[in-house]
Structure 1
Amino acid sequence: MEKVFGTSYLVADITKMHGGAQKAVYKIDCTNGFSCVLYVWDMTMNYFQEEITNNHLHAQSFGSDLFELNNKYLIEHSIRTPALYDLNKERIRYSFDYALVEYVAGQTAEAYFTHSDSRVKDNVFQQLGEMITGMHANERSIYGKPHHSGNNTEPCHLLQLEHAKIQLSYASEYMDGIRENQTKLLDTLLELESSIKPRSRYGFIHGELGPNHVLVTPALEPYLIDIEGAEFFDIEHEHSFLEFRFEEFYRYLKNDKLDPNRMLFYKFHHHISLIAAGLKLIHRGYPDQQLARNIADYHTVCALRFVEG
């Protein structure tokens, strides 16, 4: 703190915050009233280190390099996200990268689902909808991270198809309903994929934009957090996730120009992926075991509805 901010920034308190499954997050309070956040990307504390080691999709959403890259891109394009004060990647004293980041006071967007004033809710979610629309309007002809260049070898949705097959196989080992319907679920996945037509324009998406990844300040300004997975991709991947994560409040965020076939495919993919993610959090000792179980159970019900439908 002294090296980055100066000698008057003496640490008074450090509080562990809920940091999700891929990095540790701490709030640092100083004696002079200043606060900031410490991000720690320690692989030994990552609940998806196996997937990262095997270069599966989680490798695209972990690490200080991706945070730095996406933080710069979002801020340059006027999309609110906490400022990066300092990033340490030297790994001399510690075996992990860490960063000091702006502390954004406020609550997650989820807290505004039950706000008593409808005008406040309108304000928050309309702003968020405008922010998401503006972010998705940043387009280019290749998908991937902002620094990725060159041609893509296959359509981006095929990456999710292969990912879903792996997650379906994993889930079938532990969930009776999935195991009993595994063939039907795979057939449904392939059927949905077969309806997708080629595309050559991709928008910039967050990648996992639930209401828990939106901080809202007391001035009702939304900020995006957990941005490591942001990239250029089919925006339907984002919207299909937004639709079930924001439920009735998705009406503020929706886009009338989406491809319905992609929406169905990605929605089904999300359900399968989140069943497996919930199970992995259970198996790997995630602190909130009930949340992990609820995720696996809820998305099992959702995935099976596709088969029944």
Structure 2
Amino acid sequence: MTRAFLQPDDVGDLVAQQFGADRRLTALDRLTGGSKKGVYRLRLDDQTTVILYVWAANENYWPPSPTVPDDPFTDASGAELFAVNHAALTAAGVRTPRLLMLDRDGRYLHSDVALVEDVGALTLEALMERDPAAAAMPLSTLGEALRRMHTTLGPHYGKLAAIARDEAPQTRRTEDIIADRALSHLVAAAIRDARLADAHERIADHLRHLRSAVGPRQTYGLVHGELGPDHVLVTAAGEPAMIDIEGLAYFDVEWEHAGLQMRFGDAYPALRPVDLDPHRLEFYRYAQVLSLIEGPLRIADTDFPNRQWMLDLADWNITRALAAL
């Protein structure tokens, strides 16, 4: 598709109504990295900056795919999810950029938008690579925030907005949802890669074996859903601030920690995790490996600007998936 991104004239009314007619926009920078929503930095003539989120079809690079109906991490995008999840994180004492304005009525653009605090461009990932010593304090603070989230418990799993509307289905165990999700990812990825097609049955058997060791559970913690060090910004004061929060859900905390272990690597112990079920963790870790094959291969079929990075990520996880057999 031909993508037309925002231009300065498109946000003139927004700037005037939110900041006053005497304020002027000096620059509109579209930030890289987002794949489901547009992220823009607005620079004003008094040297202040804010971040604009735009949930529009032309900002979303992800093509549709078969999904498991009760998977709480499906379609984790949109202004409603952002608003509900932002409130939940704030209530849990978790730092995230402050919400300044939310518009779901099309007052400014033909899409849902939000203005949030600009906490800077430094990601925890970049800081860990550049100065591991300086990253120690944000990592420790992030670990404290995660423990507050993962000990905020509820009797139901699902998206927070769906739970609030009493629309979160609770007919199956979470590990069965993840098993179906992983098998769906395997089928979709095997179409695109011969190595996975050849090993399809062995991978499926390995998944079922891991699933068989997992016992039932009836309480769930608050999880981010896809938290990596690139989803944490470090403020000028050294505070970690979570972003990309639309996937927040009540779910098994092992799902979060399977991803944290992969994404944080050697720095993971600094997060000082809560107690985890080793069998559930191992099963979810393998399911996430398959997710990190299917998703990158699917988006690499689109006009996503960093296609080779996605292909490399998929290839690395194909190697991991096969090595576990």
User: Which position in structure 2 is the counterpart of 1:255?
Assistant: 273
Give the alignment partner of residue 184 of structure 1, picking from 202, 205, 209.
202
SS in 1 for 2:141: helix
User: Which position in structure 1 is the counterpart of 2:43?
Assistant: 29
Is the contact between residue 36 and residue 77 of structure 2 (CA under 8 Å) also seen in structure 1?
yes
Deviations 1:190-235 (A, max 9, x none): 1111111011111100000011100011221000000000011000
User: Which position in structure 1 is the counterpart of 2:18?
Assistant: 4
Question: How far 1:302 sits from its partner (Å)?
Answer: 1.1
Write the letter of the residue equivalent to 1:157.
E
Runs of 4+ in 1 over 3 A off after TM superposition: 51-60, 91-95
User: Which position in structure 2 is the counterpart of 1:243?
Assistant: 261
Q: Note the 1:216-295 alignment, pairs <5 A.
A: 216-255=234-273, 257-295=275-313
Number of aligned residues: 306
Give the alignment partner of residue 96 of structure 1, picking from 102, 106, 111.
111
Q: Distance in 1 between matches of 2:23 and 2:173?
A: 49
In structure 2, stretches of 5+ residues that fail to align are: 1-14
Q: Distance in 2 between matches of 1:194 and 1:5?
A: 57
Q: Distance in 2 between matches of 1:37 and 1:51?
A: 30
User: Which position in structure 2 is the counterpart of 1:204?
Assistant: 222
Q: Distance in 1 between matches of 2:73 and 2:97?
A: 22
Question: How far 1:130 sits from its partner (Å)?
Answer: 1.1
The answer to which of 34-43 and 251-260 deviates more is 251-260
User: Which position in structure 2 is the counterpart of 1:69?
Assistant: 84
Deviations 1:165-187 (A, max 9, x none): 11100111111221110100011
The answer to which of 126-135 and 251-260 deviates more is 251-260
Give the alignment partner of residue 95 of structure 2, picking from 80, 87, 93.
80
SS in 1 for 2:145: helix
Write the letter of the residue equivalent to 2:42.
I
User: Which position in structure 1 is the counterpart of 2:139?
Assistant: 125
Is the contact between residue 225 and residue 247 of structure 2 (CA under 8 Å) also seen in structure 1?
yes
Write the letter of the residue equivalent to 2:129.
T
Q: Distance in 1 between matches of 2:140 and 2:108?
A: 45
User: Which position in structure 2 is the counterpart of 1:168?
Assistant: 186
Give the alignment partner of residue 173 of structure 2, picking from 155, 160, 165.
155
Question: How far 1:92 sits from its partner (Å)?
Answer: 6.3
Match status 1:138 vs 2:152: yes
User: Which position in structure 1 is the counterpart of 2:129?
Assistant: 114
Q: 1:261 to 1:273 in 2, by over 3 A?
A: same
In structure 1, stretches of 5+ residues that fail to align are: none
SS in 2 for 1:50: coil
Question: How far 1:269 sits from its partner (Å)?
Answer: 0.6
Deviations 1:75-111 (A, max 9, x none): 1221000111111111366442111111111411111
Q: 1:279 to 1:71 in 2, by over 3 A?
A: same
Is the contact between residue 23 and residue 42 of structure 1 (CA under 8 Å) also seen in structure 2?
yes
Write the letter of the residue equivalent to 2:194.
D
Question: How far 1:53 sits from its partner (Å)?
Answer: 9.3
Q: 1:58 to 1:96 in 2, by over 3 A?
A: farther
Q: Percent sequence identity over matched residues?
A: 32
- TM score, norm. by length of structure 2: 0.89
Write the letter of the residue equivalent to 1:82.
P
Is the contact between residue 67 and residue 184 of structure 2 (CA under 8 Å) also seen in structure 1?
no
- TM score, norm. by length of structure 1: 0.93
Is the contact between residue 71 and residue 81 of structure 1 (CA under 8 Å) also seen in structure 2?
yes
Is the contact between residue 51 and residue 58 of structure 1 (CA under 8 Å) also seen in structure 2?
no
Is the contact between residue 68 and residue 180 of structure 2 (CA under 8 Å) also seen in structure 1?
no
Deviations 1:54-75 (A, max 9, x none): 9676544111110011011111
Q: 1:93 to 1:100 in 2, by over 3 A?
A: closer
Q: 1:302 to 1:54 in 2, by over 3 A?
A: closer
Q: Distance in 2 between matches of 1:52 and 1:72?
A: 30
Deviations 1:108-130 (A, max 9, x none): 11112233462x23212111111
Is the contact between residue 97 and residue 243 of structure 2 (CA under 8 Å) also seen in structure 1?
yes
Write the letter of the residue equivalent to 2:36.
Q
Deviations 1:128-170 (A, max 9, x none): 1111111111111111123404771111222221111111001
Q: Distance in 2 between matches of 1:156 and 1:283?
A: 30
